[in-house]
Structure 1
Amino acid sequence: MASSQTLITLFIFSLLSFSCAATGPPKLPKPKAIHLPIRKHQTTLQYFTTYKSGHTELPTIIDALIDLGSPSVWFDCTSYVSSSYKQTSCGSNKCKKAKGSSSCLTCYSTPRPGCSNNTCGIFVYNPIPNYLSIQELGEDTITVYSTDGAYVWFSYDLPKFQFACVDSVTADRLPGDNTKGLVGLARNEISLPSQISSFFKLAKKFALCLPSSSENGLGDIFIGGGPYYMLPSIEDQSLSLVTTPLVFNPINGPRLLSDGELSYQYFINLKNIEISGKPVTFSPSLLSFDTNGIGGTKISTTSPYTILHSSIYKPLVQDFIKEASLNKIKRVQSVAPFGACFDSKTVPKTITGPAVPNIDLVLEGSSVRMRLYGANSMVEAKKNVICLAFIDGGGQPTTSIVLGGHQLENYVLEFDLTASTLGLSSSLLLQNTSCSHSRVY
């Protein structure tokens, strides 16, 4: 027979259980950070994420291209159905905040998301075909997930999230399979990280971990700050980042969007490039901006490989070939678009990729370097042939150096928008880990 103390305990427990059931599910804790996955499309060499938009009972799943330099989020609304969608009125404060165009949009078809009258229009930029158009600005609820830096935990609704509803012409130009839209990560008020940080009152920072492949797991977008754990390593990557200033280009871009504002894209001060510790010789003026915003070094997630001004590209290739020959690495016929290719059978393999001469990007700051090992400096062009993964950008590019996705893979890059700094980890391959993980949603 149960004791009176046990019966009392059971009675209290039953009251608590009834109370919890009567008041509904417990309130979710305030998220410390938000997580979105990154997958790499091996054909287009672009990076994509997935999120849900619309009424929470029947949301639309959006597969979206990731563009570090784009200022907004947008997707194809041709077949988008949501009872919670609202268009943004022309001339409203929300329209002004989003830098809406001066003209109001009108639609002569059946009203639907993306087709409304007296609506705010914003510039939408697709970076792959370099296509610009004006599309309807709207808002709806999206679903996001919290993280502790290692695992993904709870789902949260973010209401009144602003995005552009685009037409099928714009969306058809997107690369990848079943891609419906684009998420912009630029430093302006309606980019993905800015809206999420503002709504959840998180730190104004986000981090990227771009995967070299999605076969063994997905990469990461962290919004709100660290920790950042890349299992099986137990090191919090946020504690070992080296930082370099983010700098502003005096001219906004793309050029058609230039309106006297500082650029919302991400530039850094690259001071020099070294191969095996030896400086590459080129004019340092190429690393600065002129009065028209030409020059400098930009970070891009949509350029598959780093693109260099010809005056930087040519001496870099020559110096790399020279250092490779000293290491008995055999050069072979080049494979377009690359200028220097080698017999991979003459190159030893290491945990950081082919054992080729290291390339150091010397950045502004106290001993700040981004060291590119073989996994990030070389690419397999065909069987038994690896090539230096840099592209000749010609003699008159808008930006002297565009750091592309291949060079950024398997590094943690933290963009702190308050301090205006870029935090960099060393190559995760040195820790026997990478940016490919299964964090579970």
Structure 2
Amino acid sequence: MASSQTLTTLFILSLLSFSYAASAPFKLPKPKAIHLPIRKNQTTSQYYTTFESGHPESPTIIDALIDLGAPSVWFDCTTYVSASYKRASCGSNRCKKAKGLSCVGCNSTPRPGCSNNTCGVFAYNPFHDYLTIQELGEDTIRVYSTDGAYVWFSYDVPKFQLSCADSLTIERLPGDHTKGLVGLARAEISLPSQISSFFKLAKKFALCLPSSSENGLGDVYIGGGPYYMLPSIKDQSLSLVTTPLVVNMFGTGPIISEGESSVEYFINVKNIEISGKRVSFSPSLLSIDTNGVGGTKVSTTAPYTILQSSIYKRFVKDFIKEASLNNIKRVNSVAPFGACFDSKTAPNTITGPAVPNIDLILEGRNVRMTLYGANSMVEAKKNVICLAFIDGGAEPTTSIVLGGHQLENYILEFDLTSSTLGLSSSLLLQNTSCSHSRVY
């Protein structure tokens, strides 16, 4: 096992590499993977990242919401100034690649986001529930390489496709400084697709969502592992279990093109267990039918897992029963949660409150995602913890939407070549988490 002296030495070498890069120009090595940080906004329970966009000599720092199901990158251009920005003209190859719909124009002074005869693409704000057509353009963005443990060198990615948004589009985004959105979906102009293509990396990316940003940041890895979650020196990529990614042949998001499959990420949940006992509900709800309805979707913008009503009601009933067997006292519910408990009767452990474990049984040989108290419960108010699942109604498009709270402190690797989702066990079991201090 590595000593603290070894980890300190690695940190010093990292700093020396930056010092050398600043004082002696040299050809940057081809990155093996690219890293972006993840922060959590505690008020909205949303995750966002930060990157630099614009001319390398005067870039603009952009905070952008992370949306696993969105196909593109967009941000507010109303005050954006960049000498390297270029609009995409109507009918151009770049417009076709972005699935541009129409030409847009502008009667004001020309600037990024205000041009004539320009390709128009959709921009969608999931919190404002606002869909609009905005200008497609391209600019240079700056990203950073990683060895899985530390961040090393910065790289400029020219001609990165993005769309400009106006002030109305960005309303109600989480936090005071979030001015855009980073899409990670299965689409040609999503962030991982463009980055992987530019650097010729493996077509895969991984997320490690933090439960808080107070003690460090989470991770977006583009290009694959290794994944080191210090102080652990274990390469987490070597112990991931995999389940197939399912393609829903019908569009499910707000931006739907007729005849095209969904760009969102679906998996097969075979059943749900609480304390090892199966929750009983109609298994047909777990399959995607011929109209694209049903199944299980993975989401970073749903704060908590959403269950179709008949699943939810039986799930909550069974959880309450198992909690009572463990002498966990139920208290009045706190909206929007259906079952709440006295936290003093569920002692805290390394994996959160000591409540019944929830297992999502996934497609594959002995593949399951075990949710411990840190991921199944949320503190609603003082001394009250609630089951962090939401009733999605009787007829939702998707039966189960796995939300961010349930994904925190797990590594999720989306491999688009093999069409699989790699999944770690809870990092809390290893006395580590998705909150780290990596050198930037």
In structure 2, do the counterparts of structure 1 residues 388 and 24 end up closer, same or farther at CA, with 3 Å as the change threshold?
closer
Unmatched segments (≥5 aa) in structure 2: 1-19
Q: 2:337·2:387 contact (CA, 8 Å) conserved in 1?
A: yes
Q: 1:251·1:258 contact (CA, 8 Å) conserved in 2?
A: no
Structure 1 vs Structure 2: percent identity of aligned residues? 82
Tell me, in whole angstroms, the C-alpha distance in 2 between the residues paired with 1:114 and 1:188: 22
Question: Which stretch shifts more, 118-127 or 422-431?
Answer: 118-127
Q: Which residue of 1 aligns with 2:80?
A: 80
In the alignment, residue 26 of structure 1 is paired with which amino acid? F
Does 1:317 find its partner at 2:328?
no
User: How far did residue 24 of structure 1 move?
Assistant: 6.8
Q: Deviations over 1:211-248 (max 9, x none)?
A: 00001000000000000000011110000000000001
Tell me, in whole angstroms, the C-alpha distance in 2 between the residues paired with 1:188 and 1:401: 22
Tell me, in whole angstroms, the C-alpha distance in 2 between the residues paired with 1:167 and 1:130: 15
In the alignment, residue 80 of structure 2 is paired with which amino acid? Y
Q: Which residue of 1 aligns with 2:352?
A: 353
Q: Deviations over 1:163-218 (max 9, x none)?
A: 00111110124222111100000011000000000000000000000000001000
Q: 2:337·2:390 contact (CA, 8 Å) conserved in 1?
A: yes
Tell me, in whole angstroms, the C-alpha distance in 2 between the residues paired with 1:253 and 1:81: 35
Q: Deviations over 1:285-332 (max 9, x none)?
A: 111112221111000000100000001000000000000111111111
Q: Which residue of 2 aligns with 1:12?
A: none
Q: Deviations over 1:65-114 (max 9, x none)?
A: 0000000000000011001000001001111011110x211111111100
Q: Which residue of 2 aligns with 1:190?
A: 189
Q: 1:75·1:166 contact (CA, 8 Å) conserved in 2?
A: yes
Tell me, in whole angstroms, the C-alpha distance in 2 between the residues paired with 1:255 and 1:400: 17
Q: Which residue of 1 aligns with 2:382?
A: 383
Tell me, in whole angstroms, the C-alpha distance in 2 between the residues paired with 1:226 and 1:256: 31
Question: C-alpha root-mean-square deviation of aligned residues, in Å?
Answer: 1.3
Tell me, in whole angstroms, the C-alpha distance in 2 between the residues paired with 1:140 and 1:259: 30
In the alignment, residue 44 of structure 1 is paired with which amino acid? T
In the alignment, residue 256 of structure 2 is paired with which amino acid? L
Q: Which residue of 1 aligns with 2:13?
A: none
Q: Which residue of 2 aligns with 1:209?
A: 208
Superposition pairs for residues 121-200 of structure 1, below 5 Å? Answer: 121-200=120-199
Q: Which structure: larger Rg?
A: 1
Secondary structure of the residue that 1:429 maps to in structure 2? helix
Q: Which residue of 2 aligns with 1:271?
A: 270
In the alignment, residue 193 of structure 2 is paired with which amino acid? S
Q: Where in structure 1 do 4 or more consecutive aligned residues deviate above 4 Å?
A: none
Q: Which residue of 2 aligns with 1:66?
A: 66
Secondary structure of the residue that 1:170 maps to in structure 2? coil
Q: 2:69·2:253 contact (CA, 8 Å) conserved in 1?
A: no
Please give the TM-score of this superposition, normalised by the length of structure 2: 0.94
Q: Which residue of 1 aligns with 2:14?
A: none
Tell me, in whole angstroms, the C-alpha distance in 2 between the residues paired with 1:130 and 1:395: 21
User: How far did residue 256 of structure 1 move?
Assistant: 4.8
Tell me, in whole angstroms, the C-alpha distance in 2 between the residues paired with 1:399 and 1:253: 8
Q: Which residue of 2 aligns with 1:53?
A: 53
Q: 1:307·1:404 contact (CA, 8 Å) conserved in 2?
A: yes
In the alignment, residue 55 of structure 2 is paired with which amino acid? H
Tell me, in whole angstroms, the C-alpha distance in 2 between the residues paired with 1:172 and 1:386: 31
User: How far did residue 255 of structure 1 move?
Assistant: 4.7
Q: Which residue of 2 aligns with 1:429?
A: 428
Please give the TM-score of this superposition, normalised by the length of structure 1: 0.94
Tell me, in whole angstroms, the C-alpha distance in 2 between the residues paired with 1:256 and 1:182: 15
Tell me, in whole angstroms, the C-alpha distance in 2 between the residues paired with 1:329 and 1:167: 50
Q: Which residue of 2 aligns with 1:262?
A: 261
